[in-house]
């Protein structure tokens, strides 16, 4: 988390989409990766499908869950996430081979 906050590129995060009660925030990183956050403002869990071209990603992407410190997997074109009420999911993406 600190590495994302203190990334040398110095870019801020920005909202790139709102899907129902979910805000999607992205922040470009110095090494070409991206931090992507999903914020549920609602009172119930929400499952959304995020198309990569809508949030500035392309090709195969490795998603790493920054809260759990585990790889969530490699995805291509879209990612489906379920975010609990008033919760946040935060990933770091990088191009996958």
What is the average per-residue pLDDT within 50-61?
A: 88
What is the overall mean pLDDT for the chain? Answer: 88
Q: What is residue 8's predicted lDDT score, i.e. its pLDDT?
A: 64
Q: What single-letter DSSP state applies at residue 77?
A: S
27-36, 70-79, 86-95, range with the lowest pLDDT = 27-36
Domains and CATH numbers, the chain: 2-95 (2.60.40.1180)
Supply the DSSP string of 15-69, one letter for each residue. Answer: EEEEETTEEEEEEE-TTS-EEEEEEE-SSS-EEEEEEGGGTT--SEEEEEETTTT
- Asked if the model's pLDDT at residue 90 lies above 70, the reply is yes
pLDDT at residue 7 tops 70:
no
Tokens of residue 65, six digits: 């869950």
Whether 66 shows a pLDDT value over 80: the answer reads yes
């Amino acid at each position: 988390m600190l590495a994302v906050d203190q990334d040398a590129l110095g870019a801020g995060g920005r909202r790139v989409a709102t899907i129902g009660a979910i805000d999607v925030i992205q922040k470009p990183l110095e090494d070409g990766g991206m931090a992507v956050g999903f914020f549920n403002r609602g009172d119930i869990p929400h499952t959304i499908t995020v198309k990569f071209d809508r949030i500035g990603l392309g090709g195969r992407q490795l998603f790493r869950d920054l809260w759990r410190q585990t790889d969530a997997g490699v995805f291509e074109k879209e990612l489906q996430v379920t975010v609990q009420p008033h919760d946040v999911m935060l990933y770091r993406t990088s191009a996958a081979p």
